């Protein structure tokens, strides 16, 4: 069986597993106004380089965040479109699971905090506890201000983020203890240990909802400029 995983929560990440072997694992930054136009050609080209056609993939795992809300929605919609075309199954998994798994490498037990930028000197904290090296979520992702985040993160065994500069600004005293990644490693989504495919009792189409916990950022409204003189 050929399975694939895709994540756009921070940049883009693609991985493919054939049988028990990871035959493709690539990451790509997404920046600029044309990044969405480049996404499909990149995915199709990467699959082709591994000798895989989109229709060959029988199962897709897609990251649901936290992260770039636009990127997450684009990634989910893209994979959903592929699955509608091919008939493949699709399962949504929090992107933070893969980051926690990366931070857990070499650790059997302990706690991990996955940090995402929430702007306004705040962060999104997703907490995990390791069970024989496998990250298990503790509660839901939550927005925390700098003081609250410092108190919680100081007690965690490991920290990982894809927003290194922003997190160093919010938690400067912990910056040296943070593992910083450019993007998610999608191959972790294909691990039977970390992300075992759910049983038939799980409605897969309910798992694609993007995780969006960052509060809205409001800007001061601009005054309308009157055109054509007084009326």
The answer on pLDDT for 224 being more than 60 is no
Query: Could you tell me if 91 and 104 lie in one domain?
Result: no
Instruction: Please tell me whether residues 176 and 194 are part of one structural domain.
Output: no
| Backbone dihedral region for residue 208 (phi beyond 0: left; psi -120 to 50: alpha; all else: beta) | alpha
The burial class, CB within 10 Å (0-12 / 13-18 / 19+), for 183 is buried
* Statement to judge: residues 109 and 138 lie in one domain: yes
Residue-averaged pLDDT of the chain = 91
Exposed/middle/buried for 140, CB within 10 Å: 0-12, 13-18, 19+? exposed
In a domain, residue 227? The reply is no
Q: Specify whether 59 is located in the same domain as 89.
A: yes
Q: What confidence tier does 218 reach under pLDDT thresholds 50, 70, 90?
A: low
How many domains, in total, are found in the chain? 2
The parent domain of residue 46 ranges over 2-95+184-206
**Does 77 fall in a domain?**
yes
Instruction: Say whether both 81 and 6 belong to one domain.
Output: yes
pLDDT at residue 222 greater than cutoff 90: no
Kindly state whether residues 102 and 169 are assigned to the same domain: yes
pLDDT, one tens digit per residue, over 161-173 is 999 999 999 999 9
Q: For strand 142-145 and strand 21-28, is the pairing parallel, antiparallel, or unpaired?
A: unpaired
The CATH number given to whatever domain includes residue 38 is 3.30.420.40
Q: Is 132 helix (H, G, I), strand (E, B) or coil?
A: coil
């Amino acid at each position: 069986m050929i399975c694939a995983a895709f994540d756009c929560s921070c940049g883009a990440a693609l991985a493919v597993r054939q049988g028990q072997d990871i035959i493709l694992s690539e990451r790509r930054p997404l920046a600029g106004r044309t990044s969405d136009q480049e996404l499909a050609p990149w995915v199709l080209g990467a699959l082709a380089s591994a000798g895989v056609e989109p229709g060959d993939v029988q199962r897709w795992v897609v990251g649901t965040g936290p992260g770039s809300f636009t990127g997450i929605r684009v990634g989910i919609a893209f994979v959903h479109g592929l699955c509608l075309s091919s008939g493949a199954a699709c399962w949504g998994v929090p992107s933070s699971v893969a980051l926690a798994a990366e931070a857990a490498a070499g650790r059997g037990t302990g706690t991990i905090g996955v940090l995402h930028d929430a702007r306004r000197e705040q962060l999104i904290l997703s907490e995990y506890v390791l069970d024989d090296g496998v990250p298990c979520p503790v509660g839901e992702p939550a927005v925390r201000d700098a003081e609250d985040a410092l108190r919680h993160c100081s007690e965690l065994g490991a920290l990982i983020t894809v927003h290194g500069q922003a997190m160093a600004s919010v938690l400067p005293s912990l910056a040296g203890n943070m593992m910083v990644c450019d993007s998610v490693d999608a191959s972790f989504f294909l691990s039977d240990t970390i992300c075992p495919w759910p049983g038939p009792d799980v409605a897969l189409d309910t798992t694609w909802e993007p995780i969006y916990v960052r509060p809205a950022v409001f800007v001061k409204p601009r005054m309308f400029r009157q055109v054509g003189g007084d009326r």
